[in-house]
A and B are shown apart, each in its own frame.
Chain A
Amino acid sequence: MSTTTLSPISRLRWAFSDVMTVAQRNLLAVFRVPSALVFVIIQPVMFVLLFRYVFGGAIKAPGSSYVNFLIPGILVQTTVFGAVGTAIGLAEDLQRGLIERFRALPMARMAVLAGRTISDLARNVLILVVITLVGFGVGFRPGGGVVAYVQASILMLLFSFCLSWGFAFIGLAAPNSETAQAMTFPLIFPITFASSIFVPVATMPGWLQVFARNQPVSQAAEAVRGLMLGTPHGNSSWITLGWALLAIATLGPLATRRYRRAA
C-alpha cells in the first residue's frame, strides 16, 4: 500500500542489508562491553573447568568418561544461557529509545528482531569454537567423526536460534533490562539443570526424570552428545529439530507481534 518505487528484489536486498547492519551493531557491542564478553566467553569456560575438575569426579557418566559427557552438554547449556542476552539486549534497546529511532527510519520492520537473533547466532558460533578448543584442552575426545561433529553443531545452533525468538518476546514484554533478566532466570535454571546436560537423568528421582528426560533442552543435549560421541541417541535429533521448528513457528510470530506493539 505504500507508494514505493523499489522493486521486490531490491526491497529484499535492502531488508537483508538492514538485518546485517543491525546484527553487526549488536556484535560490536558484545566486543566493546567487557561484561558482555565475560558473559559470552569466560562464564562457559568457568563451567567447563568447574564441572570437569570440581564436580566431575563425583558424577558417574554412562559409557565413556565424564568429560566426553560434559562438553556437548556445556555447549547446549551455554547457548540456552546466551539466549538470555537476546532478551536483555532487546529490552535495553527499547528502554534507551533506540528502537524508537529505528522505527522512524526507512528500514525493514523485521530487521531489529532478525538482526538480534542473527547476531546471537554468530555469538553462539564463537562459543562453539571456544568450548570445543577448551574441551580438547581438558581431555574431550569425541569419537563421532568430523561430519557428525558439524551436524551436531548445526543442530545446536538451529535449536538456539529458535530459542532466541522466544527470549526476544520476553525482552520486548519486559519493562526494562533488569526485569528481562529476572524473568528469564526462573525459566532457564530448571531447563538447563533439570536436564541431561550435566548429569545422567537416571540418577534423578523418578518424578523429576519424567520432566528431565522429555524437555527440549535435554533432547538437544542428548542429540548433540550422541552425534559428537558417535553413540546411539534414539530419535533425539529429530525431536530437537521438531522442538526448534515448533518454537520458531509459534514464538517467532509472537515476538514479531509484540515488536509491532512495543515502543
Chain B
Amino acid sequence: MTQFAIQARDIVRTFRDGGVKALDGVSLNVPTGEVFGLLGPNGSGKTTMVRILSTILAPDSGSATVDGKDVVTQADAVRRSIGLAGQYATVDENLTGFENLRMVGRLNHLTKPVASERAHELLAQFGLSDAGARPAKTYSGGMRRRLDLAAALVAKPPVLFLDEPTTGLDPQSRQDLWVIIEDLVSTGVTVLLTTQYLEEADRLAKQLVVLDQGRIIAEGTPASLKAQLGTTVVAVTFTSSAEANQHVGLIRDLTTNEPNIDGSIVELTVNSGPAVAAEVIRRLDTAGVTVAGLALREPSLDDVFLNLTGHKAEVAAEPVADAPAKRKGRS
C-alpha cells in the first residue's frame, strides 16, 4: 500500500514532572517491509517514540501515521495494525504461555477457536510448544522474550514495534531472536526496532536514526554511519596520560576525526586499521616513545556518540521519562 508504513512529523513530548523534553521534534519515514533502527542510549527518547507510535501516549505536538492511520484520531485502527514487544516482556506471569497468547488473541478479537489455534501455531513457531502449558513465571529470560514477541504477532500485524528486544539477553538468545526477526521481515512485516547496540542495528536495520536527548543527531544506513565514523578504532596506550598528551601530535594526522584522549589511551577511528596500527608503531618507535599497548576494535555505539555529540553515551543516560513499565514520568 503506502510507501511508508510509519511516518512521523515533528513529534514533541514533554513530561510533566520537571518539564523534561523526552522528544524534541522527531520526524521519521519508515519504508514498508524494512527494519528501521532507532538507536540511542537510555533516556534518549526511543521508548517514548515507540509509545507514541503505538498509541499508548499522545504527543504534545506533531503528528504521526502508522499503516496510513493517524495515531491520535484513529488510534483504534492503528492498534489493529500493530504488534508491540520489548525489553520488559510484559507477559502475564501467572498464565501459561498458551493462555497468554490466547488472551492476546481474544483481546485482538479473534474468535475462541481461532485464538487457540493461533496460540498453538505461535508456540510451535517460537520453539515453546513444550513449555506452552507451564506458567510464564517459570520461563527463562530468552523464552519470555520469545513469548512476548509471539504475543505481538498474534493478530499478524503489518507493523511491529520492537523496543530493545534483546537488552539483557545472553548472546545465544540474542542470536536466536535476531534470526526470528529476520524471518519475520522476509514475510513483509515492517519493523521499528529500538536498540542500544550498534551491532544489532547493523545486523538487522536497513536504515537507522540516532537519537540523543530527544533529537535525531544522525540518520542513514548502518554502513554510511560507520563509514562516516571509520570502520576501526586503533587504541594506543601510552605509559602515562602525560606521555599521551605529549606525543599525540605524532599520530594526529592518521585520522580525519580528532583523536580521543582518555587518560593514557589515545583512540583513532580509521578506515584501514592494520595499516594505521603499523604506521603508529613506526612513528612512535622512530621517535623513541614507549608504547604500553595497542589494540584494534570495532567502533561501538559509544564511539558513534562520542563522534556525533562529543559526549559518551553513558553521560547522556538519564533514565528520565523513558521507562514504560515503571510509573515514573507517566502522564
Chain A interface (Cβ < 8 Å from any Cβ of B): 1-4, 14, 17-18, 21-22, 25, 28-29, 32-33, 94-98, 100-107, 111, 175-176, 261-263
From B76, B103, B324, B325, give the contact of A106 (CB < 8 A): B76
Question: Which residues in A have their C-beta under 8 angstroms from that of B56?
Answer: 100, 103-104, 263
Provide the residues of chain B in CB contact with A263, threshold 8 Å: 56, 327, 330
Q: Looking at the complex, which of B26-34, B80-88, B222-230 is the stretch in contact with chain A?
A: B80-88
Contact of B106 with A262 in the complex, beta carbons under 8 Å:
no
- Please give the distance in Å from B77's CB to the nearest CB on chain A: 6
Cβ–Cβ contact A21 & B108, under 8 A: no
Q: In the complex the two chains form, is B77's CB within 8 Å of A96's CB?
A: no
Q: Are A101 and B84 in contact (CB under 8 A)?
A: yes
Task: Tell me the minimal C-beta distance from A202 to chain B in angstroms.
Answer: 46
List of 3 A-B pairs having minimum Cβ-Cβ separation, nearest first: A97-B325, A106-B79, A97-B90
Give Cα A111 to B55, complex, Å: 17
Q: Closest residue of chain B to A109, judged by CB?
A: B76
Query: Could you tell me the distance in whole angstroms from the C-beta of B138 to the nearest C-beta in chain A?
Result: 12
- Closest Cβ of chain B: how far from A160's Cβ, in Å? 23
| A100 engages B82 (CB within 8 Å) | no
Most buried by B among A32, A95, A262: A32
Cβ–Cβ contact A25 & B95, under 8 A: yes
Residues of B within 8 A of A (CB): 51, 54-56, 69, 73-77, 79-80, 82, 84, 88, 90, 92-95, 99, 103-104, 106-109, 135, 151, 324-327, 330-331
Query: Is the beta-carbon distance between A105 and B94 smaller than 8 angstroms?
Result: no
Q: Report whether A100 and B55 are in contact in the complex, using a CB–CB cutoff of 8 Å.
A: no
Cβ-neighbour of A104 out of B79, B94, B106, B327 (below 8 A): B79
Q: How far is the CB of B182 from chain A (nearest CB, A)?
A: 23
Would you call A3 and B95 a contact (CB within 8 A)?
Answer: no
Are B107 and A18 interface neighbours, CB within 8 A? yes
From A25, A96, A97, A104, name the one whose CB has the most chain B CB atoms within 10 angstroms.
A104
Q: Which among B51, B107, B330 has the greatest number of chain A C-beta atoms within 10 A?
A: B107
Could you tell me if B76 and A4 are in contact, using CB atoms closer than 8 angstroms?
yes
| Bound-complex Cα distance A40 to B18 (A) | 42
User: Can you report 11 residue pairs joining A to B where beta carbons are below 8 Å apart?
Assistant: A2-B74, A4-B77, A14-B109, A21-B103, A25-B92, A28-B95, A29-B92, A95-B325, A101-B90, A106-B80, A263-B56
Residues of A within 8 A of B75 (CB): 2
The chain B residue sitting closest to A30, CB to CB, is: B94
Let me know if A105 and B108 touch, CB within 8 A: yes
Structural contact, B90 and A98, CB atoms closer than 8 A: yes
Q: Which residues of A contact B135 (CB under 8 A)?
A: 32
11 additional A-B residue pairs with CB within 8 Å, beyond A21-B106, A33-B94? A2-B73, A3-B74, A17-B106, A18-B107, A97-B325, A101-B90, A104-B79, A105-B107, A106-B76, A176-B327, A263-B327
CB of A17 within 8 A of CB of B109, answer yes
Contact of A28 among B79, B88, B94, B106 (CB under 8 A): B94
The binding surface of chain A is classed by DSSP as helix
Closest to A262 in B: B330
Interfacial chain A residues near B99, Cβ < 8 Å: 25, 28
Residues of B within 8 A of A176 (CB): 327
Cβ of A2 and Cβ of B95 under 8 Å apart? no
Asked, given contacts A1-B73, A2-B73, A106-B109, whether A97 binds B54 with beta carbons under 8 Å apart, the answer is no
A261 vs B93: C-alpha distance when bound (angstroms): 25
Contact of A32 among B82, B88, B94, B108 (CB under 8 A): B94
How many angstroms between the C-alpha atoms of A227 and B90 in the bound complex?
Answer: 46
A36 to chain B: closest residue by CB:
B94
List of B residues within 8 angstroms of A100 by Cβ:
51, 56, 90, 324-325
A98 and B92 contacting across the interface, CB-CB below 8 Å? yes
Q: Which B-chain residue is minimally distant from A20 (CB atoms)?
A: B106
**A29 in contact with B77 (CB, 8 Å):** no
Question: Do B107 and A102 touch across chains, with their CB atoms under 8 A apart?
Answer: yes
- Determine the distance from Cα of A33 to Cα of B77 in the docked complex, in whole angstroms: 36
A175–B84 touching, CB < 8 Å: no
The chain A residue sitting closest to B87, CB to CB, is A97
Inter-chain CA distance A98–B51, complex, in Å, is 14
How far, in angstroms, from A94 to B330 measured CA to CA in the complex?
Answer: 11
Question: A32–B138 Cα gap in the complex (Å)?
Answer: 13
B101: min CB distance to chain A, Å: 12
Q: Across the two chains, which residue of chain A brings its CB closest to B99?
A: A28
Identity of the chain B residue whose Cβ is nearest the Cβ of A21 in the assembled complex: B106
Q: Which of B69, B73, B327 has the most CB of A within 10 A?
A: B327
A105/B90 in contact, CB under 8 A = no
**B327–A21 touching, CB < 8 Å:** no
**Contact yes or no, B79 A105, CB < 8 A:** yes
